[in-house]
Structure 1
Amino acid sequence: MTSGGSARLTVPHAVGLVASGAARALEGRGLNTSYQVAHGARTFSVKVHCAERSSEAEYRRILRVDEVLRGADWYPPLLGIGHDGTGPRRLVVIRPWAPGVPSDDARERIGEVVGVLAELAARGAGTGTETVAGEELVGDYASPWVAGAGEERALVGPLLTGTWQGLARAMDEHLGELRDAARRLTRTDALLVHHGDLHGRNLISGGGRGGGRPLTVIDWDEAGFSRRPADAGKALWLSCRAGRGDFELDPAALRHFLTQLHTRLPVPYASAGDLARLGALWFLPRHGHVTLLGRRDARLGPWYLGWVARFWARFRRNLDLVTRTAAALGADPPPDGETDPGR
């Protein structure tokens, strides 16, 4: 099954190039696999989803998001989508290749990230529930924890022993407040387009129209719709940290992020603590995710658990910084028409 196929590269042809070794596999620690494919005079991005992430609902989510976002300057439109037809059914997605490189410092892209967040919110505002198959295409990383925290905690429990006991304690200490924050930020009257992994490393600067888009947002694996600002919550943690692999929030970057978010969306400063708690739900390990990572590479499961454990070791201190910074901004906002220059 294919839809929106490119005249230059179809899903079957892309699958054949990948299988023959003619596609360049890109580094990544996610569940899906990305390739750069040269075909004719063009270069394409081909994403092969793992079988467990290749459902019909996933297929429809990607199509519906594509309909809503086509025309956005930073959005790489869907050129082809279908299943590979061999072995386990895997979803294959073809998009234009984004030339350029991501920034080494996500803090440099805060203004652009918030600009994309604002447009995702604006485009989602015109999307009614009836056009996304009721609630079938609505959900984000917080949804499993809000709907069934007890079940999720019980499933992941056997993985959090020995070295990871501290991670289990952090989950038990914070899960309640995180779920409460997610509920407070959930709206029943509006939808947001949900990217799922929006941060500076997924923003690619190109060379202008002749060499591609000036800015391209990549990695639409988790695309869908949400009733809460899940992208913004996750982006807070990934855009404002001092460096990759580290979870010490940079005070100046955090101030800039919150100011931009307040000015351009707008998000009340009083909601910043809840926004950070919402984003923190993404760093709770889920049994399915850890298990699938281990199937791809046995080293990825321990790597991931260590990564999120570092997040939780600094969570309370970082959350205190978020609430203090937001309180200071709310008490002394910049003059009308001005924004905090930040970094």
Structure 2
Amino acid sequence: MTTISTRGEVGASWLVAAAAMGIVTATTLAGNGAVLAALKRAQRSPAHYPLASLAAADLLVGAFVLPIAAARELFVFHLNWAICSCWSTLDVLCCTASILSLCALGWERWRGITAPLSRARRARQARLYAVLVWPVAAAVAAPTAFIPSPKHFHPGEAAKACTVNTNVGYVFFSTSFSFYLPASVMVTLYARILYALASPPTIRAHRGRSPTKPEPPKTTTPLETIKVQKTLVFTSPKGCHLNVPSDKTDAKCPAPASPKNKAFSSSDGIISRQRRATRTIVMLMTLFLVCWTPFFVMLPVDSLCECVRDVTWLWCTWLGYANSALNPLVYAAASPSVRQALHKSLTTSSSTRNTDVQLSPSARRP
């Protein structure tokens, strides 16, 4: 490495850019590290496997990609070919793995809605897809270390260390498998999720169950009724004795809810969860598209015409990096089990003996 000097004058804009990059890097490291720690404490769920892959990819982005990415924007220096090759490969590898993990997470959520009872099978498939994310991402990232790239700087500008590979053939190959195909899969999956959520809750709640016909009431003679009154004593679920068919019950025992009221309560709960899930899905898709679309539109355009200004490169690149910092806030917050584990990690000391988070019934639902 040669001597280091600042890129441009150290003014207000330079300090703001340095502070913003430092915040994104620190948030990415802290947020994804906390998610991985929380996933170890939480009881296993099928969605945790792609979520762990997502957090691991984003953590690697914060640890190995963002520091050099920030340094090359703020300072003028040079690195040897080996370091730059490792950095560019890790950049493509981790960002691609992060995006593919979002696809795996979207698939698991769709399966959780359409097949809520096949939890064990979903867990096996989610684990398999979370593992396959990394070989696919490595296959997309490996060529960037060996394919030569034209120098990406305009006359009069100081060359940046470890320039982004703008080889036309590789750019269209990598953007297709890193963004456009995964984005198409994600849009399709989330559209199917919204369609499944829009179906009537009574149909989805009883999917796979065959309706049963009520049994006709049995007729008894007055003599049999007298015998029942003398001999039969029933116990309620709370342990209260109920003499049948006496009109009075224990005053301490509340009257059981009628099946009709239970149906209304279950329907209201399903509708409420549908609305929350719909809002979360819209937020997730919006975040992903807003953060990554500008970069993956700018990169192919600039590889063809070299007409994108340096400030545009800066904004589009770091907007994509910001997705790694925002993912823990959105994806982990949408998981009740991870949210409970995060809360427990923040409110208890590291010496706590109980390391498993007991989930509430609502958190166990797929």
Taking structure 2 as the reference length, what is the TM-score of the superposition?
0.23
Higher Cα Rg, which structure? 2
**As a proportion of its length, which structure holds more strand?**
1
Higher RCO (Cα < 8 Å, 6 or more apart) = 2
**As a proportion of its length, which structure holds more helix?**
2
